[in-house]
Amino acid sequence: MSRTIVLASTQIDMSYLLPTFAKLAPELDIRMHQEAPEHADTVLCWHAPAGLFGALPRLRLVQSIAAGVDHITADPTVPPDVPICRIIDPNMASGMVAYVVWAVTHRHRHFDQYLARQTQGIWQENPIVPTRLHRVGIAGMGVLGLAVASALAMLGYDVAGWSRGPKPDLPAGVMGYHGAGQLGDFLARSDSLVCLLPLTDETQGFLNADLFARLPAGAHLINVGRGGHLVDRDLLAALDRGQLGAATLDAFTEEPLPGDHPFWRDRRIVVTPHIATRTGPTVVVTQLLANLARLDAGTPLVGAIDRQRGY
């Protein structure tokens, strides 16, 4: 079947995928969203222009270049019967593991303080708290949360995960919590709280004043989910009160983070530019091609989300 695939983004230059398409599927008709023809049947995207999906009457598949699909579900013009797929990639999971292990150890082992002291030539040790005495909570125990939990548990951290439903097969040593009823107990034992939730109607604003009040005093917040999970002003107020001790943030409501945003100059906050992990072009194109073949064969798609749940 002849196909036309539209590469769409208002945030990044999607032409980085063209050499990979030329190598793996030279027969495909690939267009940038600025010249999307009405007969296009597939969109591969990261923050597509608003309304693009509704303008393509033959649309059969929307594929995210990312694990998150909130940039697609936010657009109500995706027809309800068109599948939306996310990327599933072991390398993406490794990247996320490396980032979160760095963020947890950076604070728990006081590297933030050592770096600050180095600028003044100060040689001073902090006591080492054994990993088993540092409790890490991971909100979101999906593809990425499970990989992170497993790695932190192997380092000896006291790890728990929180998900929507119960998880029967958690990595060794990881405690499971689920649902609103168990959220309080989960938070109360999270010296470091990692947000790896998808952004949905239910999780929007999850990281707010009420939640911070349920964490141990001085907790470290690590948000590698989405900016929409965090209520920015509540974070600043919780840091001011000492309810939170520090935050490491990789995702923001507005990206790039505006130059005058208070997070930039706050020494209690580490800001990284949404780099916790990425997927290379070969994985993206290979997964899209696999899904096109599966669409033709009528078999289940890789990474198809549940449109009702939003992830």
Pick the binder of ligand NAP from 26, 80, 121, 165 (CB under 6 A). Answer: 165
Residue 294 is among the residues annotated as catalytic for this protein:
no
Q: Which amino acid is at 114?
A: Y
DSSP 261-302: -GGGG-TTEEE--S-S----HHHHHHHHHHHHHHHHHTPPPT
Q: Of the listed pieces 17-25, 110-118, 219-227, 289-297, which binds ligand NAP according to CB under 6 A?
A: 219-227
Q: Which is nearer to ligand NAP, 258 or 273 (CB)?
A: 273
What are the tokens at 236?
């600043």
Min separation Cβ 96 and ligand GLV, Å: 9
**Interface contacts to ligand GLV, rule CB under 6 A:** 66-68
140's contact among ligand GLV, ligand NAP, none, with CB below 5 to 8 A by partner kind, is ligand NAP
249's contact among ligand GLV, ligand NAP, none, with CB below 5 to 8 A by partner kind, is none
145's contact among ligand NAP, ligand GLV, none, with CB below 5 to 8 A by partner kind, is ligand NAP
Q: Which is nearer to ligand GLV, 56 or 67 (CB)?
A: 67
Pick the binder of ligand NAP from 203, 243, 248, 287 (CB under 6 A). Answer: 203
Q: Assess 42 for contact with ligand NAP (CB under 6 A).
A: no
- Would you give the DSSP letter of residue 170? P
Q: Which is nearer to ligand NAP, 137 or 225 (CB)?
A: 225
Q: Assess 214 for contact with ligand NAP (CB under 6 A).
A: no
Q: Assess 224 for contact with ligand NAP (CB under 6 A).
A: yes
The 4-8 sheet, strands edge to edge: 29-32, 4-8, 42-45, 61-64, 84-85
Per CB under 6 A, contacts with ligand NAP among 75-104 are 96
Q: Of the listed pieces 142-150, 151-159, 239-247, 280-288, which binds ligand NAP according to CB under 6 A?
A: 142-150
Closest CA to 77 of 52, 60, 49: 52
Q: Assess 202 for contact with ligand NAP (CB under 6 A).
A: yes
Rounded distance between C-alpha atoms, residue 307 and residue 311, angstroms: 7
Q: Which amino acid is at 300?
A: P
Rounded (10°) CA dihedral 246, 250, 254, 260: 50
Q: Which is nearer to ligand NAP, 140 or 245 (CB)?
A: 140
What are the tokens at 226?
């989405």
Residue 80 near residue 60, CB atoms below 8 Å? no
Q: Where are the alpha helices (DSSP H) in the chain?
A: 18-24, 70-73, 90-108, 111-118, 143-154, 183-188, 209-213, 232-241, 281-297
Tokens 């009528």 sit at which residue? 298
Tokens 């604003």 sit at which residue? 205
∠ CA 39-43-44, nearest 5°, is 150
Q: Assess 47 for contact with ligand NAP (CB under 6 A).
A: no
Pick the binder of ligand NAP from 3, 108, 164, 220 (CB under 6 A). Answer: 164
Please pick, among 274, 278, 294, 307, the residue that the annotation labels catalytic.
274
Catalytically active residues are 226, 274
- In the complex, the residues that contact ligand NAP under the rule CB under 6 A are 67-68, 96, 140-145, 163-165, 196-200, 202-203, 224-226, 250-251, 274, 276-277, 311
